[in-house]
Every structure is written in structure tokens, then in C-alpha cells.
Structure 1
């Protein structure tokens, strides 16, 4: 069992776990039981940014329509459209040794697909979590449970992995956005 983090906490990943080069970012959630006529489709994404938290190229945005970064450093394993079942609902694999040098941060986000049209928001999502797993051993390194802090938000920056003095660290962000994926893309410098 890994370390449980609270919102705002930061922790070393590679310094305290020597040899950790490949991780799986597992994301999971449940939707509260209500009937709005539509299923919930939550989508994980990764924004590979520079030191100013800006995406340099469109290809630095990894999501269900761009599953693998050109460097091979970040891979989205595919879209789970219902969130049914136990464990991780979506996963993003990261190989730190392949991350291009211009990338300083990897922001992991979750958005609700068609949230506005379906009248859905993160106030209707519960038990959301992110966990970091050592891809080689399968050991859970850390976990961050988001709690129930959201109401009208349709997108959340769950966490960031960032470089610091040659090592990778983890920041439990848990910051919500209204405006869904478009608002997130603009936040990271992408044209929508």
C-alpha cells in the first residue's frame, strides 16, 4: 500500500523510489445514482507542458483521440465510456526516461464528456481517485482521493508530475474548472 496524499501535498517520486522510471497513473470514479437520461462519460487526459505550464504543440495533449505521445513517453490506454466496475477506470502510462527535455510538467486531468448538454458536473461524481503504480513491480506508490469538494465543475486537474533538480515529483492538485475540456485546453495554451 502506497502513501495517501491530501490536496496540495507534494512528494518525491523518483528520488525516494530509486529506479522508478515507468509508472501507471490509474484514475477511478463513481457516479452518484440519479437518472438524468444520460450515462456519464469521464475522460482522462495528460497535458505535457513547458516550465510556464503551456503546451508547446498540439501533440503534447494526450487524450482519447491522441493516445500516444510522439516520444513514446506518455500513453493513454483507452477510453472507458461508462466508469463501470472496480479499480482504475482509465490509465495513463508514463516512461520518465523518454519524456522530452522541454517538458517540465505532466498535468493529469479528468473531464466530463458533453457535460453541459447532459447537465452533468463533478458534484455528481464520488470516490474519485488517482494512484501512481510502479509499472515494473505493480506496487502502488501513492494515492490521492479527491473527496467531494466539487459542485458545478466539469473538469478537474487531478495532479501534476513535474521535474525538480533532475527528479520527478507528484503534486496532488484537485483543482476544478467550469467549461469542461475547452476551458482546460485554453488554460494550458491550446487553441480550441
Structure 2
């Protein structure tokens, strides 16, 4: 049974889930519909927004040991292979996860203490887009062995004016792995700019 989280809540992943050595993180969102006035009155149209999910592998000092520890649309696999991005979704259209990140917990290097999940809007400045134009954003964690959803965090805050979201993190605690629902907005027009604060 899936656990529904609220912002700031932390839950165990591996403790109580015997044998769970890898997880699949799914991120989803939908473009909000905006009204536009046409010849026959108002009609609703969803904006074409390209959101990009990324994972940052951080050490005990909350820093990236290397820029290659940013797993994103142009770097789909960590150097050790324990974190993999399944590929870029350009529109966010349709049901289900828009992008997924696979995390092999058992093989994450010992110097990595957390995997931070973030989302940026591609070309947000030139397109004049921000997260106020996104609705139904969520992050969920699944057991890849049986596709069972373990936890879900729906992002319900207003993120108008924000061009990046720090969604959640998977982190080590006393030899186990836990999840922290963060849900904080940020200003960063590209994942490279967001990741610089962790170098």
C-alpha cells in the first residue's frame, strides 16, 4: 500500500521493505490550461512545456563530488551506473510518469549520502514559462520488481515565478535508505545552473 506524503515528511524506504535494493522514481506533471479568446469565444489550451527531471548525487557535505554526478537528459547514467535516467519527455502530455530515474541503492558508492531529485523547465526564459503554468506535479517511488508504488508526494504549493523545483531526496540514515519530501521552488533556468550551488 502506497504512503501519501506531505511536504517535509520523511519515511523509511528499505527498513520494513525486506530485500528492497533498488527503486524507480517517477516524476509527473501536466501543463495547466489557460483561457485564450478566439473568434468563437474563450477556449482552454494547455501550454507546451518541456520539464526535465534530474538527479544529483551528493556527498556528506551536500556537494557533488564531480559534475558527472548530475544525471539528466544529456547525461543519462552516473559514472558508477547506479543511477540512470530513462530518457527525456518533451511535453508532459498523457497519464502516468513523465520521466523516471532508476536508483540501484545497493551499488551507490559509499561517498554518496543522498540522491536529490529536481525538475527544470527547458528554455524557460525564452518561452516565458514558470512552474505556475504546471499542475498535478508529483514524485513517487516504486519497487521495480513488482511495480508496487511505495510512496507518493503530490506538490500542491503555488510555484508561480519559479523555474526549478527541488522535489525530494533519497538519503542514507543509520545504514538504511529514507525519502524526504522537499517540494521547494527555486530560480534556475537550466540544470547546470541549479547544480552549480552543489559544487
The TM-score with structure 1 as length reference comes to 0.94
Answer yes or no: is the 8 Å Cα contact 1:39–1:82 preserved in 2.
yes
Q: Summarize the Cα distance change of 1:118–1:22 in structure 2 as closer, same or farther, 3 Å threshold.
A: same
What's the RMSD between the two structures over aligned residues?
A: 1.6
Where do 5+ consecutive residues of structure 2 fail to align? 37-44
Tell me the equivalent position of 1:49: 58
Equivalent residue for 2:96? 87
Give the counterpart of 1:110 among 119, 132, 147: 119
Structure with the higher strand share, 1 or 2: 2
Residue in 2 that maps onto 1:33:
33
Q: Which runs of 5+ in 1 are unaligned?
A: none
Give the paired residue count. Answer: 189
Distance 1:67 1:139 in 2: 24
Q: Classify the secondary structure of the residue corresponding to 2:109.
A: coil
Q: What is residue 3 of structure 2 aligned with on the other side? A: 3
1:187 aligns with 2:197: yes
TM-score by length of 2: 0.91
Q: Deviations over 1:95-144 (max 9, x none)?
A: 00110111001000000001111110001100000000001111100000
Deviates more, 1:126-135 or 1:26-35: 26-35
Highest Rg: 1 or 2?
2
